[in-house]
Amino acid sequence: MSRPERSMRSALGRVRHHGAAGEGTGHFIAMRWTSVALAILGPWFAVAASLAIRDGGYTATIDFLSDPVNAVGVILLVVTSFYHMSLGMQEVILDYIHRPFTKVLLLLLNAFVPLVLGAGAVFAVLLVNFGV
């Protein structure tokens, strides 16, 4: 008589050949890529801004953001930061919030608040760069 196969997977998981939801790998990769991008963009911004804006004045800040290279770097930093934050908060909400209504509400807020804040920040950088 053969021994039953021991597995940590559920019967449905063995049939579908997925994990719990089948989305973990993409989320894991996105978190790692955004972490690498932030590890590069964060120090760049800290050094470039501190060198360019020594006096901390308004005109020095506008001059820093008016340079196209700096504007693109700041936009990449803002977009990557908000996306990374949204991914991390999504995991926290899915793992620790158990009430369905609260979970859905927080997931919706997690989708729209970073989008609105990021769009506003990108718009502000573009407004400074191109002027009105």
Which residue is listed with tokens 């501190």? 50
| Residue 114 predicted with pLDDT over 60 | yes
Assess if residue 72 is contained within a domain: yes
Assess if residue 110 is contained within a domain: yes
| Residue 80 predicted with pLDDT over 60 | yes
pLDDT digit string, tens, across residues 16-49 = 655 555 667 888 999 999 999 999 999 999 999 9
Residue-level pLDDT at 46:
96
CA dist 42 and 31 (Å) reads: 16
Residue-level pLDDT at 9:
67
Mean pLDDT along residues 104-113: 97
Radius of gyration of the CA atoms of the chain, in A: 22
Mean pLDDT along residues 68-73: 95
Identify the band that residue 108 occupies on the pLDDT scale cut at 50, 70 and 90.
very high
CA dist 44 and 81 (Å) reads: 14
CA dist 6 and 72 (Å) reads: 53
Which residue is listed with tokens 């693109």? 72
Assess if residue 5 is contained within a domain: no
Assess if residue 1 is contained within a domain: no
Assess if residue 125 is contained within a domain: yes
| Residue 94 predicted with pLDDT over 70 | yes
CA dist 113 and 10 (Å) reads: 36
Residue 118 sits in which domain range? 11-130
Residue-level pLDDT at 39:
98
Domain count, the chain: 1
pLDDT mean across residues, the chain: 88
Assess if residue 26 is contained within a domain: yes
| Element of type H or E holding 98 | none
Where would I find the H helices in the chain? Answer: 11-16, 24-52, 58-66, 68-96, 100-130
Assess if residue 2 is contained within a domain: no
Give the percent of the chain with pLDDT over 90: 72
CA dist 83 and 70 (Å) reads: 20
Domain CATH for 115: 1.20.1300.10
Assess if residue 6 is contained within a domain: no
Residue-level pLDDT at 16:
62
Q: What is the model's pTM?
A: 0.80
